[in-house]
A and B are shown apart, each in its own frame.
Chain A
């Protein structure tokens, strides 16, 4: 039981490049989330999904796109990376929404030059 895994762990991009972050969970959770974590700003929700095939915008969705084609996977895409997207990205999942515990992956450290 791996829980929530994220690929890759580290990545350096140049401005304008694109990339996809992959999140996978093996707990059969319905809800999945993408957060970014920046110093002094806590966790900010980028996008989330309440089930396979559904996605919704969070607090800071601009510059990101997501897809949830399979229940166990949640992809975060950056179409044209900007230095402001330098951050640590965390994926999380929960059995259901709201008051259910969120289980986090180990994070992806992304640097955009």
Chain B
């Protein structure tokens, strides 16, 4: 019930392509969905976040798409660049819990 399932575990995308990472949840009480980006040897950092009353949020090349009925949300990285190579974590929050984290996706952008 409290899990957030993230896929794929790893992803290789050509430079300039679109990277897509998916997450799914069960608990409909979750009401805040952030994505964090982690570079090797560093701690995660907030990338972008969305609430369930919005179906899409865009910040530069990064877009979150949210499907409330399917209980799924995804991160799209347009025009992917080698500097985007990192591990990406989705997460979900409900006031009765702390953040619940997905398992992470290691993204490699090939030049």
Q: Which residues of A contact B (CB under 8 A)?
A: 4, 33, 40-45, 48, 58, 90, 92, 97-99, 101-107
A27 to B98, CA, bound (A): 20
Interface residues of B in 40-93 (CB under 8 A from A): 41-46, 49, 89, 93
**How many cross-chain pairs have Cβ atoms below 8 Å apart between A and B?**
47
Whether A98 pairs with B95 at a CB distance below 8 angstroms is yes
Whether B32 pairs with A43 at a CB distance below 8 angstroms is no
Can you list 9 A-B contacts with CB-CB less than 8 angstroms, sorted by A residue number? A40-B104, A42-B89, A44-B101, A58-B98, A98-B95, A104-B44, A104-B45, A106-B42, A107-B42
Q: Which residues of B contact A (CB under 8 A)?
A: 6, 9, 32, 34, 41-46, 49, 89, 93, 95, 98-99, 101-104
By a CB distance below 8 angstroms, the chain B residues around A107 are 41-43
By a CB distance below 8 angstroms, the chain B residues around A99 are 32, 49, 93
A58 to B98, CA, bound (A): 8
By a CB distance below 8 angstroms, the chain B residues around A58 are 98
The distance from the CB of B104 to the nearest CB of chain A, in whole angstroms, is 5
A93 to B62, CA, bound (A): 24
If A48-B98, A99-B32, A106-B41 touch, does A43 touch B89 (CB 8 Å cutoff)? yes
If A33-B98, A98-B93 touch, does A41 touch B43 (CB 8 Å cutoff)? no
